[in-house]
Structures are given as structure tokens and as C-alpha cells.
Amino acid sequence: METQEALKAPVKRKRRKKKIVFTIFAVFAVIAILAFIFLNMYINRSIAQVEGEIEMQGLENAVTVITDENGVPHINADNAHDLYMAQGYIQANSRMFQMEMSRRQASGTLSEVVGEASVEQDKFFRTLGLRRAAEASYDIYTEESKQVLQWFADGVNAYIGEAKASNSLPVEFTLIGSEPEQWTPIDSLTIGKYMAFDLGGHWERQAFNYYVLNNLPKEKAYELFPFYPENKPTIIGEGEVDVAVSFKDAVIPHAFNGSNNWVVSGEKTQSGLPLLANDPHLGLATPSIWYQMHLSSPSMNVSGVIFAGVPGIILGHNESIAWGVTNTGPDVQQLYVEKQNPEQPHEFLYENKWEKAKVIEEPIKVKDNKPIDYQVVETRHGPVISEFAEESSGDTVMSLQWTALEATTELEAILEINQASDWHEFEQGLEKFLAPAQNFVFAGKDGTIAYKANGNIPIYNNGEDALLPLEGWNKENEWRGYIPFAELPTVINPDKGFIATANNKIATDNYPYHISNVWAQPYRYERISEVLSKGEDLTVEDMKALQMDQTNLQAREFVPVFLDTLENANLSEEQHDALKLLSDWDYTDVKDAPQPLIFHRWMDEIESILYDELPDDMMDLFGGKGQTTDELLRAGDESIWIRENDGMQEVLKTSLHKTVRVLSDEYGSTMKDWRWGDYHQVQFDHPLSGVSPILAFFFNREIPIPVGGSSVTPMAASYNAETGIVNHGASWRFVIDTAEAKSYQLVGPGQAGHFRSEWYHDQMGDWAKGAYHVTRLDENDGMKLQLTPNR
């Protein structure tokens, strides 16, 4: 018996061990499940509430919010106070983290939550002074507009207080270990100033021109200017400012934040009333830069989009009118070379006298580090931005004068435009929209179509002055005010029956004022004009098709030239195959064809050869590079840049060889199986997705989608040359027939900022294929949320 018990003992111990292991495993499994459930519940409770009832402190009457199937909130209020307060609450409920990061980026306070990694960026934005400009702007707003800003901020703060109390802030705040502070009217205006920054104004191109004139033979440098200057401006402050060092940490907006808009007279439409279309081209990210809303009260019924963090509707329509914008791209930024007093570095020369600059203390708080004492220096022209106002290596620095750094009143313009009923009232509102300068197109139910290049556009002595930094010590280099409002380029009801803009040159040579030296390549505008000129009985569907048009007029111009130049060249079999494919191409950048892949990569390789001697940090300042490349190719062997690379045929032959070799390595040797969409794919990245693959898994839920189009087609889809990822394009698409009480819109990738929301990425596929959703001004179905006064 004892022997049997002894034999059974190891078995019992093994069973007990298994039972213990199983119990431990079960306990861990239960803990994991409970943790998952808790985490899931914690994350999900920050999803925006769109049904039921919410009590809000400060409301006068109940507000109804209908959220339709596309996540668009339709807000109906009895008065303006409740309308804007509800708008602030609803925006924050859906986009609070985006709003928080936007105001921090624009204000130069990212380091408070991000840490040392964003210090240089914060220094740049502190130096630029967008928040200081917003504060100055607030002082000139009317009391009525200040009330709207405060009502909106009250709504945002109602959400913040509620979310903090219920521990339901978006999970991103937990990840960065921060909470949002109270929202203020200045925050909304600062975000508006940031959008002016994002739309640029060519200071970086002036710095680039300065660099090439200092470092290249003059005739060779002039070929890189946006046009060949007749008077050939001389180098000022030669060699005194090291551009490469001075601007190495500057934040440069996308090279051309272009857009399309057009309006068609009822004489050319099936409905007999005007059609209008707009698709602003900005960075593509999650969440979208735009938030679509419909605002309704006894005095207003307006639908469209707004930047998260700002009240009103900036682009869209009401019951009587519709409007859209593109970037005019005028020379509204001017670099000045400033001479410092060697004995008093905060004094600068002006008209033979030393002037004391303004010194602004801008201490920067840094997460997990000591605060940084930082000073900004402002001359009479603006902030010293070379080396971000730090001690210069010499006695010369560069300052920036920019219209957006002045006190401006864009929000007042938006509020007036939202309630305008005809062109006269709309144009009156535009007089207050000063920065950034925009191409506005207009359509009215009364049949009027119109256009105005609107905003503060400086008057230069001549256009060549805006090519380079100017001597800050000479009064003759000062701007001479702004183009008078009544003399800004304006078109009303043209005989051709349409008006279109695509960041192209907007004024003829006999226009009395200088607007810009740098324009977008003309291909998008030319294609839009080509279609609208021929069109009759045009419909909404025709407008949608034109927004998605992938015709490449750059290729239509240059491929025949390339083929002719290489006709007798000694080429490899692979090069001949590539040229044969291009000769059979219809010049559309469709995703399933090999030709767009060959052509665009070929153009990239051409630029790599031509600009090989320019340092990488200078290429970042080379705004409008595509325009310059086109001109060099048109000049052919007459261009110094092409001659120094052994002539046009050799440039094309060498670049084609590199193109074919690289593409063969990436996509295989069977050229006809290559696809533009295998390289050219759209992705809407969340700002935190780059921190780790785990966050990328959650925040970038969808895989990249192959798409057609390119930077030169109406369906604009600019991409990162290294990855092929489309990161810049139509951030919003909008089409309206003014005969209808509805519009057709698309916000990519979706309305919501929460990655668990059904509206987070639901429009990403629609963006790729050109599907739109209908938004009505009258009755709307959806989920109903009642905001009620907390008495």
C-alpha cells in the first residue's frame, strides 16, 4: 500500500501543478479580459455623443443637433448665442485633441506636452508670432464678433469641463499625459493665423534666390528665378547671411498649397442656374483639417466646412449664395536684410539712424526639462527670423514683413458672408477678409457669377523687388500700402460663361499692380478651362467628374518633346520599351496604367540631375520648383543647367536609364504590368501614428489605397517622392447647383477624430473613387441630440 501511495504521489503533484498553472492562466485570462473590457469602455466613452440629451450651463434655450449618416451635425438654435455655443461644444466633442494640438502648434507651446523634440519648432512659431498677431487682431474686432468668439469658446469649455469631470477626454490626451486648458477667443484667432501661414507667401523663395545669387554664377542663378529678371537685381548683403544655417530649422509649408474652384453661368447649365465647385488642396491627415457643419437659426441657414476650433462656416453655401476659394499666392511676405549696431545688437539701421527693436520675452516650457529663456526681436518690418533671433554670426540678419502678422478681421468677414444674400452683400463682407489673400468665386440664385482676388496685397515699386530680400535700412524699399479693395482683380458675369482658378497667373501684364512672381504650373487651370469651354447643359455630375479628372497636360506637352529628342539616341531595349509605352499613352494619370509611373519618376530623375549641386536644405526653400523645371526643359540646350549636364538628349537619356532601372528593381522586369497605383497611394496619417507601430495600428486603421491623379491634374494628388504616399490634395470636395437646396460634399477621411467612431475613416474610400454625400439645408434625418439649459 505504501508503495502504491508512493507511486501515486508524483502523479498527484503533477495534477496539482497543472491545476495551479491552469488557475494562474485562468486568473491572468480573466484579468486580461477585464482589462480589455475596461480599456474598451474607457476608450469608447470619449466617442462623441450624438443621441439623447445633454445639459449645458449657459444655454438660453434648447438646441437640436441632428447628426446625419455621414457624421455631419445639423445644429438648429433659437438665437445666435445658443447656435455658436452649441457649435463650439459639438466641434470639441468630435475634435478636441486636434483643436488642442492646432492651438499649441500655432502658439509655439508644443514642447509643454511633447518635450524637447519640438523646441526648435516652438522657437520658430514664437519668433513668427502668430499668437501675438491674433491678440492684436482681437483688439480691432467689433463687440458683436467678440461675443461670437466668446460664445463659441464657452461651448468648447463646457465640453472640456464635462469631459474632465467624467474622465472621458480622448485617449490621445492620456497618451501624451496632458489635459486641455480653457479655450479662449485668442485660440480661435490663432488657428486662423496658422491657416494663413500654411498658405504661405514666398519668403522662402526669396531666401533661395538670395542663396543661388551668392553661390552660383549670376546667369546660371537667374535661370532658377521664377522669371528671367530684365533688370537683373544685384546681390545685397553679399555673403553676409548664411541662408543654409539661418533657416535650417524653419517650418516650410507644402511647396504649393494649391486648389481648384470654378463657377459656371446658368447659360451653360442644364438647370439654368449657376453651378459652383471647389476643392481646396491641403495636407491629407487624420482627422481632416476641415469639419463639415450645418448651422441654422432665425437669422442664418448656412452649410459647409470650418477649421476645427473656429466658429462659423468659411466655405460653403446658404439659401441664396455659394462660394469657394483657392490660394491667390501673392507676394505678401518680404524678407529684409537688417544691419545690426555692433555695439547695440538690438538696434538696426534705418535711414542712417539706429532704431531700437522691440524685444519680446517668450519663455518656452519643456516637458520633463527646465524652461528655456527665449527672446524674439522685432524690427520695424517684423520678427528677425534668420537663426530665430539668436545671436548672429555677423552684423546682418533677416527680418520678415508679412500681412498676416498685422491685425486682421477674417472672422468678421466669415460671419457677414454666412448671412449674405447676393454679390453686393458678399463683396462687402470680403472687404474684411485680409489674410490670407484668396481667389473667391461666387454663385447666386439670382444668376450672378463673380470672382475676386481678395485680401491685403502689398504694392511694390516693381515686381522684381519681390524676388530677393530688400535692404531694410532704405525707406525706398518699404511697401507702399496695399492694392485698393476696389482695384483688386474682379470679374462679374463674363461672356465666356464661367470663371475658374487653380493658383494660376490671374492678371494680365497690363494690370497696374504686381501680385506675384510664383504661380502654380498652369496645367490644372488649362484642363479645367478646356472642359468648361466646350461644356453645355452642364450638371452636378459633370462638375464631380471634372474634380476627379486625371488628364495630365504636362505630359501632353513634354512627352512628344522627349520622344523627338531621343529618336536617334543610343538606348537600351528597356528604354525603348518605356518610350513605346509613353507613345501609346492617352496622357491620363490613371492608377492601373504604367505610363504615369514612368513619366512622373522620369521627371523626378530629371530634377535630380539638374539640381544635383544644390544642397538638400536649399531644395526645401525652392518653392515653385516645378515651374522652373518646365522652363529649363522648354529652353533645352539653351539652358545653362542643361548644357552643363551634356545637353538635353543626355539629360533625358541618363534620367530615363535611372528611371527604368529603379522601377525594374521595385516592380519587376515586365514593364506593361507596372501600375501607377502600386506606388501612388493615399493614406491619412494620424499625428501620433509615427510614434510607434502600435499606435499606427490603431490610428491608421485603413491600408493605403491606390489612386490616380498627380500634382498637375485637376484631381490633385501630390505625394512623397520617397514613399509614393499621397499626402496633399483635395481636403474637401464641394459641388452645388444653386437651383437646389442641397450640396454634394466630401471630407476625407471622415468627420470624426475618434478612431472608434463609425465616421473616422468612412470617407477614405469615397475620396479615392470620387463619391460624394448629399447635405440638405432643409429637413435632415439622423440621430437626434438635445442640448438643454442647465438651470
Q: How would DSSP label each residue in 91-129?
A: HHHHHHHHHHHHHHHHHT-THHHH-GGGHHHHHHHHHHT
pLDDT digits (tens, 9 = 90+) for 207-250: 999 999 999 999 999 999 987 666 656 555 555 677 767 787 88
- Residues 452, 473: contact at Cβ < 8 Å? no
d(CA 474, CA 385): 19
Burial 108-136 (b: 16+ CB within 10 A, else e): bbbbbbbeeebbebbbbbbbbbbbbbbee
Cβ-Cβ contacts under 8 Å for 557 (sequence gap 6 or more): none
d(CA 655, CA 28): 60
Report the pLDDT averaged over residues 490-503: 97
Question: Cα dist. 656→155, 607, 650 in Å?
Answer: 58, 12, 10
Q: Alpha-carbon torsion 57, 61, 66, 71, what sign?
A: negative
- Residues 311, 752: contact at Cβ < 8 Å? no
pLDDT digits (tens, 9 = 90+) for 700-744: 878 999 999 999 999 999 999 999 999 999 999 999 999 999 999
Q: Comparing C-alpha atoms, which of 87, 126, 112 is closest to residue 179?
A: 112
Checking if the pLDDT of 429 tops 60, the result is yes
- Predicted confidence at residue 714, as pLDDT, reads 98
* Long-range contacts of the stretch 503-510 (C-beta < 8 A, 24+): 503/256, 503/258, 503/259, 503/326, 503/327, 503/328, 503/329, 503/439, 506/328, 506/439, 506/453, 507/453
Checking if the pLDDT of 28 tops 50, the result is no
Q: Are strands 783-789 and 52-56 parallel, antiparallel or unpaired?
A: parallel
- Predicted confidence at residue 31, as pLDDT, reads 41
d(CA 12, CA 106): 69
Q: Comparing C-alpha atoms, which of 567, 580, 564, 641 is closest to residue 608?
A: 641
- Predicted confidence at residue 246, as pLDDT, reads 76
Write down the residue that cell numbers 519680446 correspond to. Answer: 360
Q: Range with the lowest mean pLDDT among 36-50, 264-278, 559-573? A: 36-50
Report the pLDDT averaged over residues 480-493: 98
Question: Cα dist. 131→134, 184, 399, 417, 595 in Å?
Answer: 5, 12, 18, 25, 47
Question: Cα dist. 709→521, 600, 601, 681, 787 in Å?
Answer: 15, 11, 14, 10, 43
- Predicted confidence at residue 230, as pLDDT, reads 66
Q: Is 24 exposed, middle or buried (0-12, 13-18, 19+ CB in 10 A)?
A: exposed
d(CA 351, CA 366): 41
The cell numbers describing 90, all together, are: 459639438
- Predicted confidence at residue 30, as pLDDT, reads 39
- Predicted confidence at residue 389, as pLDDT, reads 54
Q: Comparing C-alpha atoms, which of 315, 106, 328 is closest to residue 197?
A: 106
- Predicted confidence at residue 36, as pLDDT, reads 42
* Long-range contacts of the stretch 411-417 (C-beta < 8 A, 24+): 411/141, 411/145, 411/148, 411/149, 411/188, 411/189, 411/192, 411/310, 411/311, 411/312, 412/141, 412/142, 412/145, 414/312, 414/313, 414/314, 415/145, 415/148, 415/311, 415/312, 417/323
- Band (pLDDT 50/70/90 cuts) for residue 464 is confident
- Band (pLDDT 50/70/90 cuts) for residue 564 is very high
- Predicted confidence at residue 258, as pLDDT, reads 72
- Predicted confidence at residue 6, as pLDDT, reads 56
- Residues 668, 247: contact at Cβ < 8 Å? no
What number of helices (H) and strands (E) belong to the chain? 25, 28
- Predicted confidence at residue 8, as pLDDT, reads 59
The cell numbers describing 54, all together, are: 445633454
Question: Cα dist. 249→246, 384, 723 in Å?
Answer: 8, 14, 23
Helical residues (DSSP H) of 512-610, grouped into ranges: 523-534, 540-547, 553-565, 573-583, 595-610
Sketch the domain layout of the chain as residue ranges. 1-44, 555-587+594-674
Beta strands in 10-72, from DSSP E residues, in sequence order = 52-56, 63-67
d(CA 681, CA 727): 9
Report the pLDDT averaged over residues 452-471: 93
For residue 131, give the amino acid letter. R
The number of angstroms, rounded, from the C-alpha of 163 to the middle of its chain's C-alpha atoms is 29
d(CA 206, CA 332): 12
- Band (pLDDT 50/70/90 cuts) for residue 693 is confident
- Predicted confidence at residue 508, as pLDDT, reads 83
Checking if the pLDDT of 420 tops 80, the result is yes
Checking if the pLDDT of 1 tops 70, the result is no
Catalytic site residue from 111, 137, 188, 259? 259
- Band (pLDDT 50/70/90 cuts) for residue 199 is confident
- Predicted confidence at residue 322, as pLDDT, reads 98
301 SS3 class: strand
Q: Is 331 annotated as a binding residue?
A: yes
Checking if the pLDDT of 484 tops 90, the result is yes
Checking if the pLDDT of 16 tops 80, the result is no
- Residues 278, 258: contact at Cβ < 8 Å? no
User: H/E element holding 689?
Assistant: none
Q: Range with the lowest mean pLDDT among 145-154, 549-558, 684-693, 757-766? A: 684-693
Checking if the pLDDT of 442 tops 60, the result is yes
pLDDT digits (tens, 9 = 90+) for 239-280: 567 776 778 788 887 665 579 999 999 999 999 999 999 999
d(CA 526, CA 260): 11
d(CA 114, CA 459): 41
Q: Comparing C-alpha atoms, which of 744, 764, 716, 771 is closest to residue 316?
A: 744
- Residues 344, 334: contact at Cβ < 8 Å? no
- Predicted confidence at residue 234, as pLDDT, reads 57
259 is catalytic: yes
The cell numbers describing 301, all together, are: 441657414
Question: Cα dist. 723→14, 662, 680, 695 in Å?
Answer: 56, 13, 8, 20
